[in-house]
Structure 1
């Protein structure tokens, strides 16, 4: 999973190190601006806000978030 995030440019530094025992997560993982943008545009909260707005359009008189 971290391989893909790193390859897509969502992380700023190496997420893990690999040795004879396997992969070990680093303590200093940082998300890149591209990663922040992805989370902002594709977050569950955004989906919920859209759903609530859709419900209010159908039912009426409900103020979306």
Structure 2
């Protein structure tokens, strides 16, 4: 289920620039996960790191550049 939530968020951010910009404004992983949860995507910070293989600090690049998804 977590894998699907992360993949769904990634896909949604690819087609919705407003969502992508909103998520890219997160200051840290906790804020990112809270913002994602508010949008209906349920996963923890650790699950996000595990699925994407990087920390939010590496999210300095655009969300559309997430490797592995």
Higher helix share: 2
> Above 0.5 in TM-score?
no
User: Could you tell me the TM-score, scaled by structure 1's length?
Assistant: 0.26
Which structure is higher in RCO with an 8 Å CA cutoff and minimum separation 6? 2
- Tell me which structure has the larger Cα radius of gyration: 1
